[in-house]
Structure 1
Amino acid sequence: MNVVDRRWFARLGTAAGLLVTLVALLLAPAAPASAHAVLASSSPVASAVVPSAPAEVVLTFSESVRKVTGKIRVIAPDGSRADRGEPTFEGALVTVPVDPSGPRGTYLVSYRVISADSHPVSGAFTYSVGAPSTPPTDSGVESRANPVVENAVKVAKYLGYVGLLLVVGPALVLAALWPHRLSRRGPARLAWAGVGLLALATLAELWLQVPYTAGGGLTDVTGAGFSEMLGSTYGTAHLVRLGLLAAAAFLLRPLTRGPVGRADALILAVLGGAGLLTWPLAGHPAASPAPAVSVAVDAVHLGSMAVWLGGLVMLAVFLLRRADERELGAILPIWSRWAALAVAALLLAGIVQGLIEVGGVRPLVDTTYGRLLLAKVGLFALVMAVAAYSRWLVRRRTAAQRPVPVRRAIWAELAITAVVLGVTATLVQTTPARVAADDVAGAPAGYFSTTLTSPIYSLQVELDPAERGNNSLHLYAYTRDNRPQPVAEWKVTAALPSAGIEPIDIPLLPLTDNHVTGEINFPSAGEWQLRVTARTSDIDQATVTATVPIR
């Protein structure tokens, strides 16, 4: 096969890989971006005592969530299942049908759902009907992922990072810096090892995501679970990564045998850039408060890491050993500038992403995510010191004559960054600090809840955090026999007569036909009067009032 035929074959293979990628994108779900979810409120409220058994339990998360089949359960005081039928998911709202004729006592609600950043969110709380009793237990929903699976996911992500830099490093150096007289066999083997490692890690992540989200062991993978995972954004991103990797492999082959044309090198660079986006699209960045910015800066962060570390591997393993003094004199200054640019981009992107994911100074020290990020920054500073020493050697023009000190410095950089990659693999599996610091699952301090009754309905009122400033209000209407009561029109006001504050209208947003939410800013503390009017038909209307202590 001549050179022209090989190039056409490579481009044909690339087109086939891109076709697979396109199919995966077309099958991708259209899901809104959101953050690592936490349980923001529930009805009945956690630890509340209600007069009669509700017909449904409503879970309101901080962001949209997806279902894990069979992992939302309501356990009655006698240990039997009180939930009836499948829960319904509407963005951040999950409604669980419950048997309203259940016994009196304490009920346990356990849940496990998937947040938009592909991490499982689980927990449990209790409420009581009539009077509290000994809480039941539920072994059907795991509170956390299986430790073996959880660690295997981190290992797979670590190997994926290693595979990425082993592909990027050889491809970059062979395309731009490799001396013509040297054999490409060693770098080719390294590049193909990277391709294999990256493909293996991606497949492992796809497999492990099923038991990771369901809380099972390594072999607890069902067809339904695997299908659900592949239909998610996480599954689509990984399938796209495999397709792009297959397409790039066809262009990587001629590069490992000799110089390639500018067009093929450009196509390979574009495929690499597109592949980098699959990491943030399957993790925290796609679910951040600024997803477009987060995805872009995380891709830059990852790409800069791959260029820098991949290039260092090529220098340490091949160039500093095989290139002569004249070749090193030409290569090292160019590489030094490239490394400086990569590190600058890495640092800038890391700062931007850190600011988005941490959200303040206190979460930096009060959360696991923040502490891991501080450890990563400390290790990175140490790497920068070693890198500065390497650049100093290059600027002195002695590296080409005496490459041993440079080689030692590069090996030191690689050793420290190997630890950095391990911290990163753990970091991407950890709840972002901005979310962990605000985790309000259950009944937080200051949370106000009460049940009001009228001749035509009962009303569950929930206000969070019941203090000066912005507050979230949730209202749930039920019939006298505790079934959801559709409401045609709501009107709610809040007043503080003791301070001369006249009634303030609270705008409401309907979430379901019996559930509305609204936001209100209480300007001062005191005993606020909350007045709710609900019209259930053309002629049926009733007004209830509550006194809400605002701190």
Structure 2
Amino acid sequence: MTVAPRRWLARLAATAGLLVTVVALLIAPATPASAHAVLQSSSPAASSVVPSGPAEVVLTFSESVRKVPGKIRVIAPDGSRADRGEPSFDDAAVTIPVDPAGERGTYLVSFRVISADSHPVSGAFTYSVGAPSTPPVDSGDDSRANPVVGNAVKVARFLGYAGLVLLVGPALVLAALWPRRLPRRGPARLAWTGLGVVAVATLADLWLQVPYTAGGGIFEVTGEGFGSVFGSAFGAAHLVRLGLLAAAAFLLRPLLTRPSGRTDAIILAVLGGAALLTWPLAGHPAASPAPAVSVVVDAVHLGSMAVWLGGLLMLAGFLLRQADERELGAILPIWSRWAALAVSALLLAGTVQALIEVATFDALVNTTYGRLLLAKIGLFALVIAVAAYSRQLVRRRTAAQRPVPVRRAVLVELVVTVVVLGLSATLVQTTPARTAVAESSGTQAGLFSTTLSSPLFSLQVELDPAERGNNSMHLYAYGKDDNQPLPVVEWRATAALPSAGIEPIEVPLLPLTDNHAYGDVSLPAAGDWQLKITARTSDIDQATVTATVPIR
């Protein structure tokens, strides 16, 4: 077969792959914008006491969520399952059928769902029927986050970025800057390695997403779990990426072995641009407040990073070692302009990303996401300084005669930028700053609940809303051995804030039942308040317990 028919065959195969990708995109499930959904309310409310058992428990999240098979449970006071049948999902609301004829006492609701940005959201709360009791334990809950899986996901993300760099750098330089006299075998091997690494990382992402969302070990996967992943936007984006990689492979071979035609380069660029979009479509950007902007900006950010770092890799590994003075004199000025354009795109895209994902200065400095972003900005500033030094060498026309300083500067850029890629891989697995702030603000003020023990009794203490100002206090006493309601003859309670010099404040308590007392107390300042509660159960038996309550 001649060269021309081979090229047309490669173009036909690439076009077919692109068409398959477009079809996959069209049939991919549409997902409304959201990110790291937060449980906003429930019915019955968390820590509430209802007179009779409900027929259903309703969870309402801040955004739309998807099901993780078998990971939503309602546990009765005796430890048995109180939920009946499968929960139903309606956008942000999850309805769990419950046996209304269950026993009196405290019920545990545990849940694990998937937010629109593909990350799992889990939690638990209790409610009581009739009167509180010792909360049950969900002994069947095996959905705890596995640290091995979490770290493996970050490694897979990093390998995907690294493979993209190894692929883009050689392809770009061989297409536009590579001297004809130099052999292409080394860069070609690097590009094929990059293609393979991206493919393996994509497959690893798909595999790991099953235990990551469902909980469990790295090999604890099921067919139902895979079906859930493949049916999600995350799975569709990764399958599309694999199709685009397969299509690009047909056009990559002639490009890596000899100078390619303009048509092949354009098709390859289109495939590459479409593949870049699959990264943000499977993560935070697709679930941001402005998804269209975030997806495009993140793709530009990732593509600019791949061009810059991939070009640096080609300079350090091949061109500065193999090209002669005349060739370097022609290549370096062109690369310098490319690098400046890539850096400008990185800065612009990074700024827009930060404004969307962080939004406030408080979120920037007080969240893990914000602090990681600050570290990334600091390292990026260092890389910019080194790149500026390299650009000055090129402008002075000394780099071609003395490439050693440029080579050293490029190596520094490479090392620091690899660290930046590692931070990026961690960032995509971290709760966005805007969501973390919303979560923390939602949990700072709310019900405080704890169980205290003494030799005579077990005491459940609830303080609502656990913030400055007026608070309601509920006290429930139970037998130490049988966990049955324990009658209390007399209640006494005080609240003090030693750090602010506030002496103990007497809390007037009103007995509502034999074992339940209620009182109102005004807490004028924020801090760690010390509660001291005394319960007398007979003429001679009494005990005192203490608790530290954080008031915001």
Q: TM-score range by the shorter chain?
A: 0.7 to 0.9
State the match for 2:323 in structure 1.
Answer: 323
Return the alpha-carbon distance in structure 1 between the equivalents of residues 312 and 420 of structure 2.
15
How far is 1:132 from its partner? 1.1
Q: Which amino acid letter does the alignment assign opposite residue 159 of structure 1?
A: L
State the match for 1:15 in structure 2.
Answer: 15
| Mapped contact 1:363–1:433 kept (Cα < 8 A) | yes
Write the mapping of 1:420-499 to structure 2, written as runs, cut at 5 A. Answer: 420-439=420-439, 445=445
Write the mapping of 1:96-245 to structure 2, written as runs, cut at 5 A. Answer: 96-142=96-142, 144-245=144-245
Write the mapping of 1:264-279 to structure 2, written as runs, cut at 5 A. Answer: 264-279=264-279
Q: Which moved more, 1:2-11 or 1:178-187?
A: 2-11
Q: Deviations over 1:111-144 (max 9, x none)?
A: 0000000000001111111111111111433564
| Mapped contact 1:188–1:256 kept (Cα < 8 A) | yes
Return the alpha-carbon distance in structure 1 between the equivalents of residues 397 and 123 of structure 2.
60
Return the alpha-carbon distance in structure 1 between the equivalents of residues 442 and 149 of structure 2.
27
Q: Does 1:344 align with 2:355?
A: no
State the match for 2:302 in structure 1.
Answer: 302
| Mapped contact 1:46–1:443 kept (Cα < 8 A) | no
Return the alpha-carbon distance in structure 2 between the equivalents of residues 12 and 465 of structure 1.
66
Q: Which amino acid letter does the alignment assign opposite residue 391 of structure 1?
A: R
| Mapped contact 1:146–1:217 kept (Cα < 8 A) | yes
| Mapped contact 2:445–2:467 kept (Cα < 8 A) | no
Return the alpha-carbon distance in structure 1 between the equivalents of residues 220 and 20 of structure 2.
28
Provide structure 1 residue ranges, at least 5 long, that are not aligned to the other structure.
448-463, 468-551
Return the alpha-carbon distance in structure 2 between the equivalents of residues 285 and 153 of structure 1.
18
SS in structure 2 opposite 1:439? helix
Runs of 4+ in 1 over 3 A off after TM superposition: 139-144, 440-444, 464-467
How far is 1:35 from its partner? 1.9
Return the alpha-carbon distance in structure 2 between the equivalents of residues 424 and 404 of structure 1.
30
Q: Which moved more, 1:319-328 or 1:130-139?
A: 130-139
Return the alpha-carbon distance in structure 2 between the equivalents of residues 15 and 268 of structure 1.
10
State the match for 2:353 in structure 1.
Answer: 353
Q: Which amino acid letter does the alignment assign opposite residue 183 of structure 1?
A: P
SS in structure 1 opposite 2:363? helix
Q: Which moved more, 1:165-174 or 1:25-34?
A: 25-34
Return the alpha-carbon distance in structure 1 between the equivalents of residues 361 and 37 of structure 2.
21
State the match for 1:378 in structure 2.
Answer: 378
| Mapped contact 2:280–2:298 kept (Cα < 8 A) | yes
| Mapped contact 1:125–1:442 kept (Cα < 8 A) | no
Q: Which moved more, 1:320-329 or 1:144-153?
A: 144-153
Write the mapping of 1:75-94 to structure 2, written as runs, cut at 5 A. Answer: 75-94=75-94
Q: Deviations over 1:368-405 (max 9, x none)?
A: 11111111111111111111111111111111011111
Return the alpha-carbon distance in structure 1 between the equivalents of residues 286 and 80 of structure 2.
39
Q: Which amino acid letter does the alignment assign opposite residue 208 of structure 1?
A: L
SS in structure 1 opposite 2:196? helix
| Mapped contact 1:40–1:441 kept (Cα < 8 A) | no
Q: Which moved more, 1:143-152 or 1:273-282?
A: 143-152
Write the mapping of 1:256-267 to structure 2, written as runs, cut at 5 A. Answer: 256-267=256-267
SS in structure 2 opposite 1:70? coil
| Mapped contact 1:149–1:211 kept (Cα < 8 A) | yes
TM (norm. structure 1) is 0.80
The count of residues paired between Structure 1 and Structure 2 equals 454
- Identity of paired residues, percent? 79
Return the alpha-carbon distance in structure 1 between the equivalents of residues 45 and 33 of structure 2.
27
Return the alpha-carbon distance in structure 1 between the equivalents of residues 427 and 141 of structure 2.
25
Q: Which amino acid letter does the alignment assign opposite residue 305 of structure 1?
A: M
State the match for 1:44 in structure 2.
Answer: 44
Provide structure 2 residue ranges, at least 5 long, that are not aligned to the other structure.
448-464, 469-552
Return the alpha-carbon distance in structure 2 between the equivalents of residues 329 and 56 of structure 1.
74
How far is 1:16 from its partner? 3.2
Q: Which amino acid letter does the alignment assign opposite residue 43 of structure 2?
A: S
* Change in 2 beyond 3 A, CA 1:436/1:374: same
* Change in 2 beyond 3 A, CA 1:100/1:190: same
Q: Which amino acid letter does the alignment assign opposite residue 323 of structure 2?
A: A
State the match for 1:367 in structure 2.
Answer: 367
| Mapped contact 1:45–1:443 kept (Cα < 8 A) | no
Return the alpha-carbon distance in structure 2 between the equivalents of residues 233 and 36 of structure 1.
15
Q: Deviations over 1:315-354 (max 9, x none)?
A: 0100000100000001001100100110110111011011
Return the alpha-carbon distance in structure 2 between the equivalents of residues 329 and 369 of structure 1.
43
Return the alpha-carbon distance in structure 1 between the equivalents of residues 396 and 144 of structure 2.
54
Return the alpha-carbon distance in structure 2 between the equivalents of residues 184 and 136 of structure 1.
66
Larger Rg: 2
* Change in 2 beyond 3 A, CA 1:384/1:167: same
Q: Which amino acid letter does the alignment assign opposite residue 328 of structure 2?
A: L
Q: Which moved more, 1:375-384 or 1:436-445?
A: 436-445
How far is 1:260 from its partner? 1.1
State the match for 1:522 in structure 2.
Answer: none
Q: Which amino acid letter does the alignment assign opposite residue 252 of structure 2?
A: L
Q: What root-mean-square deviation, in Å, do the aligned CA atoms of Structure 1 and Structure 2 show?
A: 2.1
* Change in 2 beyond 3 A, CA 1:249/1:112: same
Q: Which amino acid letter does the alignment assign opposite residue 390 of structure 1?
A: S
